[in-house]
Amino acid sequence: MTTTAPRTAAVARDTAETKIKVSLDLDGMGRSKLNTGIGFFDHMLDQIARHGMIDLDVHCDGDLHIDGHHTVEDVGICIGQAVRQAVGDKKGIIRYGHSYVPLDEALSRVVIDFSGRPGLAIDVNFTSGMIGQFDTQLLHEFFQGFVNHAFVTLHIDNLKGINAHHQAETIFKAFGRALRMALTPDARAAGQIPSTKGSL
């Protein structure tokens, strides 16, 4: 696949814990249709779509009577799988992306590399354990699921913040913008794999 072909994908996951359908278009307009059963999580996924300029549809029926863990982790897995499918052989993309995003007192930095190697380094000290019905521990689980299946290296640092909502929102916005940068076609390297190895 080259960057001029449609970069779309659809993924379904059906387990005893979650039933998920995800579809996306990496060259979209930032539109989203989201229903995970966790309102704040939907709000964060919308940040990825809007700031990543990705059209993103996510529907999840999860075992929320237990907690949100399986829902959040498995949605991360499915979005990772869909991104990996949609990006194809990575010819002609910039490959690396980074973003700093502030929201009032909070500031986060996200750096991503479509390296072909799953890796997550995350440094976030949330000031609250819950944001609405969203357990802040699950932010790590979402991004771990994503990197394991998108095959990317991802560094996330919340540099400052007092309000946990602001901390999380800056992370998801920065992630969307870093993703957008990394996936942008590089006009000077059209058709080329962005690696000295010749493959990613």
Give the integer Cα–Cα distance in Å for 18 and 87: 25
Whether the CB-CB separation of 182 and 95 falls below 8 Å is answered with yes
Q: Please report the pLDDT score of residue 187 as a whole number.
A: 87
Residue 2 placed within a domain: no
Residue 80 placed within a domain: yes
Q: What is the pLDDT of residues 184-199, one digit of tens each?
A: 998 888 888 888 777 7
DSSP string, 106-169: EEEEEEEE--SS-EEEEE---S-SEETTEETTHHHHHHHHHHHHHT-EEEEEEEE-SSHHHHHH
Number of domains in the chain: 1
Residue 199 placed within a domain: no
To 10 degrees, what angle do helices 69-87 and 138-150 make?
30
| Confidence at 146, pLDDT banded by 50, 70, 90 | very high
Which CATH number belongs to the domain containing residue 20 in this structure?
A: 3.30.230.40
Residue 102 placed within a domain: yes
> What are the percentages of helix, strand and coil residues in the chain, rounded to 5?
35, 30, 35
Tell me the pLDDT of the chain averaged across its residues: 95
Q: Please report the pLDDT score of residue 2 as a whole number.
A: 42
Residue 194 placed within a domain: no
Place of tokens 């993103």: 56
Spell out the residues 6+ positions from residue 140 whose beta carbon is closer than 8 angstroms to its own: 120, 122, 124
Mean pLDDT across the stretch 44-54? 98
Place of tokens 């992370």: 171
Give the integer Cα–Cα distance in Å for 58 and 46: 10
Q: What is the pLDDT of residues 51-95, one digit of tens each?
A: 999 999 999 999 999 999 999 999 999 999 999 999 999 999 999
In sequence order, the β-bridge partners of residue 80 are none
Tokens at 138, concatenated = 């699950």
pTM: 0.95
Question: What is the span of the domain harbouring residue 25?
Answer: 8-189
Residue 180 placed within a domain: yes
Residue 196 placed within a domain: no
Residue 172's Cβ-count burial label (10 Å; 0-12, 13-18, 19+) is buried
Whether the CB-CB separation of 155 and 97 falls below 8 Å is answered with no
Tokens at 50, concatenated = 């809007």
Residue 178 placed within a domain: yes
Give the integer Cα–Cα distance in Å for 156 and 125: 12
